[in-house]
Chains A and B, each alone.
Chain A
Amino acid sequence: MNLLIKGATIIDPQNKREEVADCLIQDGKIAEIGKNLKGEGSVIDAKGLHLMPGFIDLHTHFREPGNESKETIQTGSKAALKGGFVAAVSMPNTNPPCDHRAIIDNIIRKAKEVPFHIFPSGCISKGREGKELSEMADLKKAGIVAVTDDGDWVGDSLLMRRALEYASMLNLIVMTHAEDKRLSAGGCMNEGCSSTRLGLRGIAPVSEDAAVARDIELARMTGAHLHVCHISTARAVELVRRAKKEGLNVTAEVTPHHISLSDESLEGYNTNFKMNPPLRTKEDIQALRQALKEGTIDCVATDHAPHTDEDKMREMDDAAFGVIGLETAFGIVATELYHKEKWPLAKIVDVMSVKPAKILGLGPEFGQIKKGCEANIVLVDLEKEWPVTHKEFESKSRNSCFLNLKLKGRVAGTVCAGKYWKF
């Protein structure tokens, strides 16, 4: 496929490029970047738009196999492309869970049928039960990039030690869903002023802080790469900051909702604000933004967690945890961090693309716009204002916590594996 993108401002921090230029894509690869390029095939007039390395999501629930009524690899990939993503790490809490090679083989086969890059993660423990290690070496041969029992923390400290040791030998990232479930049991929102006011059972921040602290100590001992998923508290941020300062191999991600919404959002008992970890306080939001800015938190990840209306439209205590996020991630980041906080665009690209590519150890076709490499890039309109509406999602599910919000900044088109997508 040939495509000429004319007149966009290219933001490519890895190659220190921040200028208006044309980008020519030939046979799916970046053929040339420069002024006044000419080429055969389609031409996109991208004047006023910005061209960036495509976004990479470290945390997507594609729900396949097992929960195809919520999402499939097909629909999830379309949602991701619409959101400007070119690659995502799939979470292993499927049904059956990704604890055996056959399931990973199946996901990889299905992923090949979609025009999107899926890097699967596998379970830390068999059946996600937190009792015995899964066959990580075999899963690695099948193609996983990380292990996680996401949705659950590995409560057994000895098993976690072994998991970190074993995974580090295989060069696998260990992604931790840091939540001591004994401390959070029965809760459905952050414990604090808001939970007291709303009469809802709380999830104490310490359930996350204590789990992060233990995992960091085990990472210190084992030397493994620990990645803290969806970090949400000021205290957990401080623990990661300290670990990084000490030179530990610890990385962290934060979701768009945790940097933009507080626990006061639950006022109307709307279950679209119920997720795990829960929305925290305004002070936590400030700490998370600061940490993302200074690099203590490496990147933004969506924790895209689709659920059917039937699972979501229930009483607060009974409703499923989780929100979708692929299609609104850039809009939130642009609105909150670029427009409101005036972050430089290179920093936006860093947290959405460069850092996740580095964490996964991906090649030059990701996280940058490099001549000769497969084109995985995104075209964005930073000034475009748009309302998040129920009918607009490509995802199979509609459980967004940003519904009816007006965002500024929108993905105009995505080139993934050299193919152009516009929604």
Chain B
Amino acid sequence: MTSWNRKDLLGLKELSAEEINLVLETAKGFQEISLRSVKKVPALRGVTVANLFFEPSTRTRISFELAEKRLSADTIQVASSTSSMVKGETLRDTISNIEALKVNVIVMRHSASGAPHRLAPRIKASVINAGDGINEHPTQALIDMFTILEKKGKIKDTKVTFVGDILHSRVARSNIWGLVKLGAKVTVCGPKTLLPSSIEKFGVKVTTDLQEAVKDADVINLLRIQLERQKESYFPSIREYATAYQINRHILKTAKPDVVIMHPGPVNRGIEITSEVVDGPYSVILDQVTNGLAVRMAVLFLLSGSSKEGIKEE
């Protein structure tokens, strides 16, 4: 079996299929921990993890924090509003200061693409990218892939469709890099204004027609549509967007009967997806949240180089 040799997890672009599979397999072993009565293992005892969120986040932040706690790591939380970044300190200096406190792992979210990539080679601590600009969100994509594996049994040849703002979506990008490597058949769908330049060159099918995108999909992964994009003329109105790209009962009639609906959240109910579908039988949105813990535990575990002994019950 492949072993993990990386200091950091910056994106799925640079990972091999074997490395992605290793994370997914490792995550499987961690799923069960959250079902125990004592939801804690000593795997990361003595390891300090700093969660640096220079951009607002609720679900990713609490998911990481809980994963760290279940592995017995010591954690600190830094949010942008409380950090000295607002006092004009550079990112490099903030990180150097945190590293001087002998932190082992830095989980980082930043609004600038490439921010963790620039930092990681300059510091000793492991860096986990929790979302950089519009570039990558590797742990979310790993969660999505883990969920596909759980629901569909395989990733190879599974038809996965992404609908929405592909251009500004780091979740879509990470998913595309990972899924294509694992042999999935990926389609991206959205208005032409929200499709990235030359995306078809990366092994995905591109369409602006939702019917076509939904037709034979095994998985539909929806992306949150940011309301402020309307002001930047990416689409004329939320109403028109929803008319063309909303996943609702009607469009799902044309889909496969066993299709699953995913969404990395937070959901805009009534815009990209109706409440009925969010709460309906096709939706695996909450499974994604639950799986998030196992996948993030696996990533933390692999990066800190812990041994398998650490995941036994205390």
Contact = CB atoms under 8 A, between A and B. Distances in A.
Contacts of B136: 199
B114 A200 contact: yes
A199 B170 contact: yes
A268 B202 CA distance: 19
Interface in A300-328: 313-318
B39 to A, nearest CB: 35
Given A197-B13, A199-B136, A200-B135, A317 B197 contact: no
B135 A192 contact: no
A221 interface: no
B91 A197 contact: no
Contacts of A201: 113, 134
Contact of A316 (B92, B113, B199, B201): B113
Nearest to A204: B197
A198 B114 contact: yes
B197 A315 contact: no
Interface string A174-208: 00000000000000000111011111111010000
Given A198-B135, A200-B113, A313 B202 contact: no
Interface string B120-151: 00000000000011111000000000000000
Contacts of B132: 199
A204 B198 CA distance: 12
A172 B137 CA distance: 52
B118 interface: yes
Contact of B134 (A191, A199, A314): A199
Given A201-B134, A269-B117, A196 B199 contact: yes
Contacts of A202: 197
Interface residues of B, number: 25
A120 B54 CA distance: 44
Contacts of A200: 113-114, 133-135
A310 to B, nearest CB: 8
B236 interface: no
Given A200-B135, A268-B117, A191 B197 contact: yes
B118 A199 contact: no
Given A197-B202, A201-B134, A316-B112, A192 B118 contact: no
Contacts of B202: 196-197
A316 B111 CA distance: 11
A288 to B, nearest CB: 20
A418 B173 CA distance: 59
B207 to A, nearest CB: 17
Interface string A94-126: 000000000000000000000000000000000
Given A192-B197, A193-B201, A315-B115, A199 B110 contact: no
Given A199-B113, A199-B133, A192 B198 contact: yes
A201 B135 CA distance: 9
Contacts of A269: 113-114, 117-118
Contacts of A192: 197-198
A315 B114 contact: yes
A196 B113 contact: no
B90 interface: yes
Interface string A139-179: 00000000000000000000000000000000000000000
Interface in A260-302: 268-269
B196 interface: yes
A315 B91 contact: yes
A402 to B, nearest CB: 20
A315 B135 CA distance: 13
B90 A314 contact: yes
Contacts, number: 61
B113 A198 contact: yes
Nearest to A270: B118
Nearest to B91: A315
A27 to B, nearest CB: 53
B198 A199 contact: no
A260 B256 CA distance: 51
Contact of A199 (B90, B91, B135, B197): B135
A404 B114 CA distance: 22
A316 B135 CA distance: 12
Nearest to A190: B197
B216 to A, nearest CB: 25
Contact of B197 (A196, A313, A314): A196
A300 B76 CA distance: 53
A317 B112 CA distance: 6
Given A201-B134, A313-B92, A316-B112, A195 B197 contact: yes
Contacts of A199: 113-114, 132-136, 170, 173
A192 B132 CA distance: 19
Contacts of B117: 268-269
Contacts of B114: 198-200, 269, 315-316
A339 to B, nearest CB: 32
Contacts of A313: 90, 92
Contacts of B170: 199
A126 B196 CA distance: 38
Contacts of B118: 269, 315-316
Nearest to B170: A199
A375 B199 CA distance: 55
A327 B201 CA distance: 38
A70 to B, nearest CB: 18
A362 B91 CA distance: 49
Interface string B84-98: 000000111000000
Interface of A: 191-193, 195-202, 204, 268-269, 313-318
28 contacts: A192-B198, A193-B197, A193-B198, A193-B201, A195-B197, A196-B196, A196-B197, A196-B198, A196-B199, A198-B114, A198-B135, A199-B113, A199-B133, A199-B135, A199-B170, A200-B113, A200-B133, A202-B197, A204-B197, A269-B113, A313-B92, A315-B112, A315-B114, A315-B115, A315-B118, A316-B114, A316-B115, A318-B112
Given A195-B196, A198-B135, 14 more contacts: A193-B201, A196-B199, A197-B202, A198-B114, A199-B133, A199-B135, A199-B173, A201-B113, A314-B90, A314-B91, A315-B112, A315-B118, A316-B114, A317-B133
When A and B form their complex, which 3 residue pairs have the shortest distance between CB atoms, in order from nearest? A199-B135, A269-B114, A315-B112
